[in-house]
Structure 1
Amino acid sequence: MAINKTVNKRTNSHGAMKNCMEYVLRQDKTNEQLAYVTGPYCYDEINYDLVYRTFLEEKKLWNKDSGRMYAHNIISWHKDEQITPEQAFEFGKEFAEKWFPGFQTLVAVHKDKDHIHCHLVTNSVSYEDGRKLHSTKRDLERMKQLTNQMCRERGMTVVEKGKHFDGSQIEKGEVIAWSKDKYNLFRQQVKDSFVADCAMAVLKALENCISKEQFIEKMKQFGWRVNWTEKRKHITFQNQDGKKVRDSNLSKTFHLDISKEALEHEFNGNYERVRAEAERTAGTDEELVGYYRQVETACEGAGDITGAGNEREGRVTGEKSEDERVYPGISEKNTQSENGKTAAILRESRNARRNAEVECRNSADDRRIVRNAETQSVFTAEQRRFEEQKRIDDQERARAARRRNKRRSEPEL
């Protein structure tokens, strides 16, 4: 697995180019057998001063000794990759000849770390026609493709998005940071990192939010302002200390998809779950209502039986009564003798139905009261924060006005 990274440092001065070459050719990191210069180079030995003078002479020859001086690339392999320093050296030379044809490139392999890596320092002026070296975002993607192709030709592993070196899936929320400083920060002090705090706040806010507005409000409760506009590609989160985090930063660091599209997809999923739960609850209520209707019908049938004996108006011979359908134990033979028991059963059913209705209404009222209380509590807390912030802003404006007035009133010396 090879990662080809372009180092974005200041490259527009002679001193920066000389310092870079001095670092790349340090004896404690490399040796002469693992250093090479592609293109014109008239010296037998390779050291940073000679390479620096060679690059400088080429620039002066074409009268282009200004602007960007060099390009710096690092090709690094995973610590478990089966590759020798000599193989990495050949890899770097081949890549320099393919990607930087016509440009002088210093190639040196470092083996002082637990993983082998190769430095490439390229002159920004071509020795063939004097053209300047330029790279675009599309070129960076093509550079990655060339690196992967060269790895495949050598039987090495290739980087796959969302997977570790051994091919296992990267777990959601796992810290993945290509920046060394950022990686160490999260490995050692992840709990104290404002970036980690922002990621935790986003995950908590996403649990029940069904809209962009609700998500922004939830993040505000967690202490984060959200800058989400149509004009900007990325979402920016800012905490109370003024520290900002982009959605792309969270996605790369924690291997999460926190883009606008992903958040809106999550909102839609939460909305569908809420709607399905509401439909399920409504279906349960309808079943309960249907049961109550059956009991009510049975009650009406019992009244007819009590007043009119065994005969019911409009009853077809052989057809079972409503009571017999609801209570199969009641047959036409013993209807008269069981009238008293049936009436008692129906009265109990009627009372149970009424009690259930009362409990249902009370439960709904209780839930409504709790929801209203929660809403009112959130609104009150938000109102207090808004008023406090307004008071702080007013004080700051007043202090600024006093400072301006004081400066104006001071006599000029």
Structure 2
Amino acid sequence: MRNCIEYVLRQDKTSEQFAYVTGPYCYDVINYDLVYRTFLEEKKLWNKDSGRMYAHNIISWHKDEQIKPEQAFEFGKEFAEKWFQGFQTLVAVHKDKDHIHCHLVTNSVSYEDGRKLHTTKKDLERMKQFTNQMCRERGLTVAEKGRHFDGSLIEKGEVIAWGKDKYNLFRQQAKDSFVADCAMAVLKALGNCISKEKFIEKMKQFGWSVNWTEKRKHITFQNQEGKKVRDSNLCKTFHLDISKEGLENEFNGNYERIRAEAERTNGAEKELAGYYRQVEAACTGSGKDIGSCDNREKRVTSEISEDERVYTGISGKDTQFEDGKTEALLQESRNARRNSEIKRRNSASDNRTVRNAEVKSITSAEQRRLEKQKRIDEQERARAARKRNKRRSGPEL
């Protein structure tokens, strides 16, 4: 506690005009030694000078916020007097950084009745709501979830951490963090997954087991070293929607995308068939026959007319030009046919994947329904058995 008070009242960070103590304080000047002794005397008065000694909170504003140190000082005093009513609180404004912030160091023992200060997660949430209300009353900016100070949206995957230690970890050593590894594995696994089962299988390939059950609210990921990460942790830290509902939406989106690609491939095959007909018509129009040489590849044979035999010097060049043009068209046609066949096979594979996933999903849903019905039947049988036993036992003597 002494070190904390000494840091908050450092002269290179604040000045006496921006320091204040709520509650009993009998000294004219404020320095860390006097504040520390005042807090300690209050604890000894109630015989509670052990355990948690103090609470340290910081109210910070963005560097672009239009607020002066005097305004921040009044803000901190009002907050301390209303929120920590009955507890001595040191309020000090720091202006050594590019953003103004206010430190509040609160004695953990009340000077009114000697009760200890207890702060829960719900209290922290109410503290945030209270500071937001005070900011609105003063025309200051209120932080919005999913947005930066200027109102722009936080990009997907951007690191967000409310704890200082956690923030520094991801900013400096994100590659060495198993939480970051888990987030990367989830993003990779989501690529073409269209079902929960396929997602779990891919995560297993990346070294992460997935605990996704209907009974639990959250999804838990666990690596081979036994370290666990919740989906809610990934959502808050990396601004990713990795909840159950979010993943299901991703699966549905991937399914629709694969189906749309398959439909486009079928349309391309129809266009390609029309292109083949145009090529054959062009070859026929140039005086060539399309025949079969080895039952696998079509070749063009030219028919030499009487005029071509007489005027070989002229018509021979034209024939060679036409032959080259026709051969190029046929080669292009063969390449297009080969590419179309590859796309057709890939599309068929994707369609099989979609159908298999649908079958698995339906089967899984049916199994869950049967298991639920089985549990209901067992409960009914147990209830009926208890009633029968009660009737047989008769009244107690």
Q: TM-score surpassing 0.5?
A: yes
AA in 2 matched with 1:90 = E
1:108 counterpart (76, 92, 98):
92
* Within-5 A mapping of 1:11-160: 17-160=1-144
Aligned-partner Cα distance in 2 for 1:136–1:158: 23
- Give the drift of 1:63: 2.6
AA in 2 matched with 1:27 = Q
Stretch deviating more after TM superposition (239-248 or 104-113): 239-248
Residue 207 of structure 1 aligns to a residue whose secondary structure is: coil
Change (3 A) 1:120 1:241: same
Of all paired residues, the percent bearing the same amino acid is 84
Q: Structure 1 residue 170 and structure 2 residue 154: aligned?
A: yes
* Within-5 A mapping of 1:8-407: 17-191=1-175, 193-230=177-214, 232-274=216-258, 280=263
CA contact (8 A) 2:193 2:199 kept: yes
Aligned-partner Cα distance in 2 for 1:365–1:73: 59
Change (3 A) 1:180 1:131: closer
- Give the drift of 1:171: 1.4
CA contact (8 A) 2:265 2:347 kept: no
| Aligned counterpart, 2:278 | none
Change (3 A) 1:82 1:223: same
Stretch deviating more after TM superposition (194-203 or 33-42): 194-203
- Give the drift of 1:238: 3.5
Residue by residue, what CA displacement relative to the aligned partner does 1:92-111 show, whole Å, maximum 9, x if unpaired? 10100111111110111112
- Give the drift of 1:163: 0.7
Residue by residue, what CA displacement relative to the aligned partner does 1:194-246 show, whole Å, maximum 9, x if unpaired? 43332222112112222322212101212323343456544333444555433
Aligned-partner Cα distance in 2 for 1:134–1:194: 33
Change (3 A) 1:274 1:62: same
Residue 149 of structure 2 aligns to a residue whose secondary structure is: coil
Change (3 A) 1:61 1:188: closer
Aligned-partner Cα distance in 2 for 1:45–1:135: 30
Aligned-partner Cα distance in 2 for 1:365–1:24: 66
AA in 1 matched with 2:152 = S
Residue by residue, what CA displacement relative to the aligned partner does 1:266-320 show, whole Å, maximum 9, x if unpaired? 2344345556767x58997xx99xxxxxxxxxxxxxxxxxxxxxxxxxxxxxxxx
TM-score (norm 2): 0.63
AA in 1 matched with 2:149 = F
Residue 177 of structure 1 aligns to a residue whose secondary structure is: coil
Aligned-partner Cα distance in 2 for 1:78–1:96: 21
Gaps of 5+ in 2: 272-336, 357-397
Aligned-partner Cα distance in 2 for 1:366–1:174: 35
- Give the drift of 1:55: 1.3
AA in 2 matched with 1:139 = D
Residue 118 of structure 2 aligns to a residue whose secondary structure is: coil
Change (3 A) 1:363 1:215: closer
Stretch deviating more after TM superposition (171-180 or 103-112): 171-180
Gaps of 5+ in 1: 1-16, 289-355, 376-413
- Give the drift of 1:177: 2.8
CA contact (8 A) 2:222 2:229 kept: yes
Aligned-partner Cα distance in 2 for 1:234–1:194: 18
Change (3 A) 1:156 1:210: same
Residue 36 of structure 1 aligns to a residue whose secondary structure is: strand
- Give the drift of 1:146: 0.9
Residue 226 of structure 1 aligns to a residue whose secondary structure is: strand
RMSD over aligned CA atoms reads 3.5
- Give the drift of 1:141: 1.6
Change (3 A) 1:18 1:233: farther
- Give the drift of 1:82: 1.3
Change (3 A) 1:367 1:54: same
- Give the drift of 1:178: 3.2
Residue 121 of structure 1 aligns to a residue whose secondary structure is: strand
Q: Report how many residues are paired.
A: 287
Residue 57 of structure 2 aligns to a residue whose secondary structure is: strand
CA contact (8 A) 2:265 2:344 kept: no
| Aligned counterpart, 1:379 | none
- Give the drift of 1:116: 1.2
Aligned-partner Cα distance in 1 for 2:122–2:349: 56
Aligned-partner Cα distance in 2 for 1:365–1:85: 65
Residue 123 of structure 2 aligns to a residue whose secondary structure is: helix
